[in-house]
Structure 1
Amino acid sequence: MTQHHLALAVNGRERQLSGRLVAYQDRSEEDAVRRVSGLGTRVPKARQETVVILGLGYVGLPTACGLAARRSSVVGVDISEARLRAVADGDVDLPDAERAVLHDALADGSLRLVDDPEALAEADTVVVCVPTPVDEDRVPDLAALRGACATAVAHARPGQTIILTSTTFVGTTRELLVEPLRRRGLGVGTEVHVAFSPERIDPGNHDHVQRDTPRIVGGVTPECSARAARVIGDLTNSVYLVGSPESAELTKLYENIFRAVNLALANEIADICGALSLDPIEVTIAAGTKPYGFLGSFPGPGVGGHCIPCDPHYLLWQLREKGVAAPVIDQAMRSIDLRPDQVVRRAESMLAAAGTGAIGARVLMAGVSYKAGVRDLRESPALPIIAGLTRLGVDVRYHDPLIGEVELPDGSRLTGEPEPRGADWDLVIVHTVHPGFDYAWAGDCPQVLDATYQFDLAPHRQVV
């Protein structure tokens, strides 16, 4: 068996982390086995065991596809009939390879779709994949998570493994799964096995597929870790084991907090470059030539999506309850929240300088999804930007080839402009540039505010 190592640089010194990285190697179908490194466990390849995925969103659906590619019995459970119809019809935002797996799995029956949580009773393993958003005050909204965990507990039976994947506060696995299971009289680690294995899915990024992305597993006991690793090992070539669910929970939060702080810093550097008449993209690329100790990000109109704008608040909320300060994280998240308003103020000043003024001005947002190449509006900076401009009296529209309609925070809806002409607008705000589409029309607009800092089709553009 191959020995695996991870190298981690800590305070300038490199530490070798070994012995807990689980390697899975496919054998012949006759002797299909997996060996769990460091646990002394050799288990049969459990393709016939039933895995139930609770929640078929941006994490649950790729998880179901990944497991169905290697197992003959995967059940996807979702309470939304609309979502189940979309999955059944293939009307989902998946890479081509996963879309093909979904089609084949539905066709051959290895993936079944149901809306009845009673399906959990037949499961050998339950994987909980539900969203963990925040509310308008950036307080964690735990309704979906509590409901899903309660459902898993209610249907748990001896011999089952339950794996929580949703990003959440430290201690969630014990609070919402372990303790309720014990109150039901089920022994955790003996009768039911529980672990936390945070998702690592980057929508729209085809360079980092599930199979090549290591996963973290933290079980309540070593046997819990071993059983969870068997299932997660069907999704990835390597699983890194940590000593507890809490360690795995904080690992995921640390990953996303690191990204949030990095993005907040990138925007701040862009503002500094503006004050010094420098190009932040040039500076960032130049800094990136250093082969060690630097990980750069590019500035933008804000931070969107399911993870970075939300997940750090789960830790901040928990720390406030404990009276623990986290000033770096707190300031980074405040900066991220304020970024869309900075775009609004910049647009207002450009309209004023042109003599147009905000009231009645025609402004077009080029792109509204939170990220290039994805059909996802969750936490998109475009939404508060549109709302802020509307409050100023601006007539705001948008063009996004992937998003046909937008629901604004006040409940009103906007329909996208299918074929815009730059000359028809007083200002175009470049927010998201999707690959494979033509944006040359924006160069015909008299004013272009480039919130991506990288839109080179309008030489007269200005940046935030």
Structure 2
Amino acid sequence: MDLLQKIENKEAVIGVVGLGYVGLPLLMEFVDQGFKTIGFDIDPQKVEKLNAGKSYIKHIDEARVKKVRDSNLFEATTDFSRIKEVDAILICVPTPLTKHREPDLSYITGTGETLAQHIRAGQLIVLESSTFPGTTEEVLKPLLEKSGLKGDRDFWVAFSPEREDPANPKFNTRTIPKVVGANNEYARKLVSTLYDQVIVKTVPVSSTQAAEATKLLENIFRSVNIALVNEMKMILDRMGIDVWEVIEAASTKPFGFMPFYPGPGLGGHCIPIDPFYLTWKAREYEMNTRFIELAGEVNTFMPYYVVNRVTEALNDRAKSVKGSKILILGAAYKKDVDDPRESPTFKLIEILEAKGAIVDYNDPLIPVLPKMRMYHVDHKESVDLTPENLKKYDLVLISTDHSIYDWDFIVENAQLVVDTRNATKNVLEHRDKIVKA
């Protein structure tokens, strides 16, 4: 039986490399549709928890993980020699930036080198990690061919960008259409058929490069529009106009406008990173990416703008940043998730502490700040939000507007609040304590 038939009959074994925010939900969808699966990760703690039916990601319900584990269709392992047991390999590993804002493909290359030691003929390998056009064909495929097998003959490669949006109540892994691309007609048929089994709709494109570019365009679109509205916020603040009111009013137009919202800076594993993958690749073609780089400048400046507003707010009350006690609310990159990757909170802490402030944070979803690649923030634990604790800070800075926060309670007990998310819009009392930023 060939691989296409095995996929159609749900007899193919699916391997997922990288059991994080992307890989784990995807793997569970295959289990739900009756596929046998093996999850691969280099973190033994993740593997141990999954094999015990436990979740380590807030928005992935532990009951669902237990159900998947009890199905006898799933197991997790750190043993990559078992790659030979699977028919399709889905690679879901990080693609960060270096400190010089250049692509860091070390996770992809490391995975490719490991897979080359264990792949066998007849397998489909799909890269899901966001990256620049050409990565699958020019980087991953040659690494896999170190196995002695030939791509498009002995094994097939494809690209299908992840589109996860944690804590989004309207969409999940299964209901978000999936772009798939391959440079070989049979590979394209394989990858389309594979995801057709678990995703509501697949969108085939002509090549891995087109699929890679699709992901970048999606996030560049968001980055540029967020930068636009961040710039509008700074201009309108100077004019004494509430940008949030303006966005709400503009959103009533039923065509030609899509609302984007300002904040203290970009966060997450996509928008602050992916656009610069195209910027880097464009240099190979002697092209400049002016929109992308300008958006990056505006968005990167936002934490500094917020700190300037904090400085002004304290100054208006005859206080300086140096020596002030500041509590930052939220360490996650967006509301209601437990993911701190690229969160602007880390940059805010770094800038404020460099100016001499004494900075603590609260985030009910992130009890301890993890070590970050690009930020040097001392070990901190989340401070309890009690009336006594709130009162002792000179300023409370809202960085992430988790739904769990009681804004009336926070404003009532805080001395001063700087709000970067319009979180306090419905607070009616003590409005004199609130400064928008």
Given the two structures, how large is their TM-score scaled by the length of structure 2? 0.92
Matching residue of 1:53: 16
Does the residue aligned with 1:241 lie in a helix, a strand or coil?
strand
Q: Report matched runs for 1:181-330 at 5 Å.
A: 181-182=144-145, 184-330=147-293
Change (3 A) 1:293 1:153: farther
Matching residue of 1:459: 431
Amino acid at match of 2:391: A
Matching residue of 1:150: 113
Check the 8 A contact 1:303/1:381 in 2, yes or no.
yes
Does the residue aligned with 1:210 lie in a helix, a strand or coil?
coil
| 2:378 alignment partner, one of 399, 412, 415 | 412
Check the 8 A contact 2:112/2:143 in 1, yes or no.
no
Check the 8 A contact 1:128/1:149 in 2, yes or no.
no
1:125 and 2:88 are equivalent in the alignment: yes
- Answer with 365-374 or 154-163: which moved more: 154-163
Does the residue aligned with 2:282 lie in a helix, a strand or coil?
helix
Check the 8 A contact 1:126/1:152 in 2, yes or no.
no
Q: Distance in 2 between matches of 1:365 and 1:183?
A: 49
CA displacement 1:108-164 (0-9 Å, x = unmatched): 221100001111111100000001011232222211111112223332221111111
Query: Aligned-pair distance for 1:178?
Result: 2.5
Q: Distance in 2 between matches of 1:312 and 1:297?
A: 17
Matching residue of 1:78: 41
Query: Aligned-pair distance for 1:407?
Result: 4.1
- Answer with 447-456 or 215-224: which moved more: 447-456
Check the 8 A contact 2:328/2:399 in 1, yes or no.
yes
Change (3 A) 1:182 1:362: closer
Amino acid at match of 2:81: E
| 1:95 alignment partner, one of 48, 59, 73 | 59
Q: Distance in 2 between matches of 1:299 and 1:111?
A: 41
Q: Distance in 2 between matches of 1:161 and 1:280?
A: 49
Structure 2 residue ranges without an equivalent (≥5):
none
CA displacement 1:393-423 (0-9 Å, x = unmatched): 1111111111111146225211111133332
1:426 and 2:399 are equivalent in the alignment: no
Check the 8 A contact 2:6/2:12 in 1, yes or no.
no
CA displacement 1:406-444 (0-9 Å, x = unmatched): 146225211111133332211110111211342333212
Query: Aligned-pair distance for 1:259?
Result: 0.7
Q: How large is the RMSD of aligned CA atoms in angstroms?
A: 1.9
Does the residue aligned with 2:193 lie in a helix, a strand or coil?
helix
- Answer with 168-177 or 184-193: which moved more: 184-193
Change (3 A) 1:318 1:188: same
Query: Aligned-pair distance for 1:65?
Result: 1.0
Query: Aligned-pair distance for 1:43?
Result: 7.7
Query: Aligned-pair distance for 1:293?
Result: 1.9
Q: Distance in 1 between matches of 2:402 and 2:51?
A: 26
Check the 8 A contact 1:130/1:166 in 2, yes or no.
yes
